Structure 1
Amino acid sequence: MPETHVSPDLPTPAGPYSHVASAHGLVWTAGFGPQDPATGDVPEGVEAQTAATLDNVERALAVVGLDLSDVVKSTVHLEHLKRDFAAFNSVYAERFGDHRPVRTTVGSDLMDILVEIDVVAAQRA
């Protein structure tokens, strides 16, 4: 049976959805942006927003005992795909290290942020 989780350690959902869902050994996260969970503040610049967004993704994965090394797929939305891709990619590569999950990166009309990321992860056996 699927399980869903909403964590007080993450930004409050902006709608009727959960932060994390798990079923059949897989975990899905909602799309996270760079909002600070405690203050709602958004840092300036795509590098800082990418780091803050990945912090939120890590917090979401931690809800079910996982981390970035468990990610098998990520979907990334950038407000300014051409302008910000290289800077985003640098921070992303640093955070994932040698782990290289499959990824889709697209340009999207985001609501007052530059980056949004959701992931699929595999639960540990």
Structure 2
Amino acid sequence: MQEVMADSAPKPVGPYPHARQVGDFLLLSGMGPRAAGQKDIPGVTLNNQEQIVDYCIETQTRQLFANLKAVLTSAGADWEDLVDITVFLTNMDADFKTFNRIYAEYFTDNKPCRTTVEVNKLPTPIAVELKCLAYKPRG
């Protein structure tokens, strides 16, 4: 097993790697739209108590996909290697259509299996998170 850490992705919020190569599979840790090296989260407005007062799911989703790309690249993988994605949204009614539209822009050729669920809260003040699995045979 080999750990993968991507310098161009935000640091994980806990003691875990961005991804782990296990045989021919690349398992990616849950990933959100925080930007590497920044305190502010793209597309999120917080109040003084660090609570979300406004957010843009489109901005968060695009940053999330940039983070995903950074981790895949660090592991020597690409979009085409993704085989399964679980999406966590904090507001399915408000955000699913927009998320789905943006998702379709990024996944035109490769269409991984996908599950989308609504959750009450995520570990940081974000509205979307991904959990991914890629198939990347060792060369």
Task: Work out whether residues 77 and 105 of structure 1, in 8 Å CA contact, stay in contact via their aligned partners in 2.
Answer: yes
Residue 13 of structure 1: how far off its partner (Å): 1.3
Q: 1:46–1:114: 8 Å Cα contact kept in structure 2?
A: yes
Q: 3-state DSSP class of the match of 1:12?
A: coil
- Residue 70 in 1 paired to residue 81 in 2? yes
SS class of match (1:11): coil
**What is the RMSD computed on CA atoms of the aligned residues?**
1.2
> Which one-letter code corresponds to 2:110 in the other structure?
H
| 1:100 and 2:99 matched | no
Corresponding position of 1:24: 23
Q: Is the 8 A contact 1:57 1:118 kept in 2?
A: no
The aligned counterpart of 2:125 is: 112
- The one-character-per-residue Cα deviations of 1:68-90 (angstroms, maximum 9, x if unpaired) are 11100001100101210000001
Query: Which SS does the other structure have where 1:36 is aligned?
Result: coil
Structure 1 residue 32: Cα displacement: 0.9
Match of 1:13 in 2: 12
1:56 aligns with 2:55: no
- Tell me the amino acid that sits aligned with residue 30 of structure 2: G
User: Which segments of 5 or more consecutive residues in structure 1 lack a partner in the other structure?
Assistant: none
Alignment partner, residue 51 of structure 2: none
Partner of 1:37: 36
CA contact (8 A) 1:25 1:122 kept: yes
- Name the SS of the counterpart of 2:134 in structure 1: strand
For residues 41 and 96 of structure 1, the distance between their equivalents in structure 2, rounded to whole angstroms, comes to 27
Larger-Rg structure: 2
Unpaired stretches in structure 2, ≥5 consecutive residues: 44-55
Deviations 1:50-102 (CA, angstroms, capped at 9, x unpaired): 11101111111111111111100001100101210000001111011132100
Once residues 109 and 8 of structure 2 are traced to their aligned partners in structure 1, the CA distance between those partners, rounded to angstroms, is 27
